[in-house]
Amino acid sequence: MKYFNKISHIVWILSIVSLFTDVASEMLYPVLPIYLKSIGFSILVIGILEGLAEATAGLSKGYFGKLSDASGKRVPFVKIGYILSAVSKPMIAIFAHPVWIFFSRTTDRFAKGIRTGARDAILSDEATPQTKGTVFGFHRTMDTVGAAIGPALALLYLYFHPGNYIALFYFAFIPGVLAILTTLFLKEKKHNSPKSNEKIHFFSFLKYWKQSPVIYRKLLIGLLIFTLFNSSDVFLLLKAKDAGLNDTHVIGIYIFYNLIYAFLAYPLGTIADKIGMKSMFILGLIMFSIVYFGFSINENFYIYLILFFIYGIYAAATEGVSKAWISNISNRKDTATAIGTYSALQSICTMIASSLAGVIWYELGAKVLFIVSGIMALVVITYLLLMKIEE
């Protein structure tokens, strides 16, 4: 238990909530592109759908992050966000119509936008500058354990009921309810910062760009350039599917990736506290580049296993670390705004990236898509090495 001494009970609660939520979300994530293709969605439409859903979520992350800082409240945003997320899961199965599916996906992503800034601000408050990587890494580990359990449950179900995707969208409601019940253990803490009388508009968070430290803006430029060429993981799954892997293999390999991610997120976060967020993040980008170059030429199942193993290292070295890094270079009173603004701009870039990926795949083929992404990861590594970005 000494290994977990730096993890407070609040971090445990938030991490368990994230675990249950990711069981629900990831039960559907690897199935969603297969399901959408089965009802007639093209690769291009899937890319646009995912991009628009992520953009909607991102903008809401900025707004609600700013609102959380201004109100001095965290827990209500967390609870409402997880409730909406749970409700959205069965909605996708009601009608197989593009507009309805977009609405359902957007509701799920919007819910994430409501809770993300406030939740990450709580995580930041529960850590010191010397333990940010550890705390965010632990949260990512628990979150990703859920991301491994979810697809495993989907795989087990589809083994007995092949092709019956719709029932999974209803089953995903169960862990969503467990997440809601767990949030009841969260209590609002008193904050020293006074409430702001500023009137918060939907795009008020954009003002933070000018108000933020120069170091914050430098870091975000690098992160956002990378995001522009980091499309949805859906495209990795579709590439594996097109290479001849069946549904079981696709879902199984995704579970494998999440297990690697879950196993490494906490220790890599702890190591990041010692060697620096920048060094760890660059290591992650190197792993990303290797994976995408590999995807551009590979058709072998066993090589895909190796590539998804490396992809798990990339995720563990970047996802929690980027937020820990941002929280360390931002003022404590602006933590939710800083992370929310990053998440908002990131999601806009993700929308562009996923839509662009769909177009490149459709017009030029998957090989070109993965090569371009791999090259741009190397460009961002060069930028981070040349720019004096503190940690």
Looking up residue 264, the CATH number of its domain turns out to be 1.20.1250.20
The 3-state DSSP class for residue 48 equals helix
In a domain, 199, yes or no: no
Q: What pLDDT is attached to residue 285?
A: 95
Task: Return per-residue pLDDT of the chain as tens, 391 residues.
Answer: 455 566 888 999 999 999 999 898 888 876 777 777 777 777 777 767 766 776 677 778 888 888 888 888 889 999 999 999 888 888 777 766 777 777 777 788 888 888 988 898 888 888 887 888 889 889 988 988 888 888 788 878 888 888 777 888 888 889 999 999 999 998 887 654 555 566 666 666 777 788 788 888 889 999 999 998 887 787 888 888 777 777 778 878 888 888 898 889 889 988 998 888 889 999 999 999 999 999 888 777 788 889 999 999 999 999 888 888 888 888 777 888 888 888 888 878 877 887 788 888 878 888 888 999 999 999 999 999 887 765 5
Q: What is the DSSP annotation of 121-183? A: HHHHHTS-TTTHHHHHHHHHHHHHHHHHHHHHHHHHHHHHSTT--HHHHHHTHHHHHHHHHHH
The reply to whether 2 falls in a domain is no
Which residue has tokens 């201004």?
Answer: 70
How far is residue 35's CA from residue 270's CA, in Å, rounded to a whole number?
38
In-domain check, residue 193 = no
Return the pLDDT at 293. Answer: 92
- CB burial of 42-65 (b: ≥16 within 10 Å; e: otherwise) equals ebeebbbbbbbbbbbbbbbbbbbb
CB atoms near residue 130 (< 10 Å): 11
Domains contained in the chain, number:
1
- pLDDT given for residue 391 in this prediction: 53
- What is the per-residue pLDDT for 378? 94
Give the domain extent around 360. 8-187+204-386
Q: Is 186 left (phi over 0), alpha (psi -120 to 50) or beta?
A: beta
DSSP 187: -
pLDDT of residue 120: 86
Assigned domain for 197 exists: no
In a domain, 391, yes or no: no
pLDDT at position 79 is 92
Q: Examine residue 364 and state whether it is found in any structural domain, yes or no.
A: yes
pTM over 0.85: no
pLDDT at 5: 60
CB 324 within 8 A of CB 266: no
Query: What is the maximum alpha-carbon separation in the chain?
Result: 59
**Residue 348 located in a structural domain:** yes
Tell me whether residue 80 is exposed, middle or buried, using C-beta atoms within 10 angstroms of its C-beta: 0 to 12, 13 to 18, 19 or more: middle
Residue 192 inside a domain? The answer is: no
Asked if residues 389 and 213 have their Cβ atoms less than 8 Å apart, the reply is: no
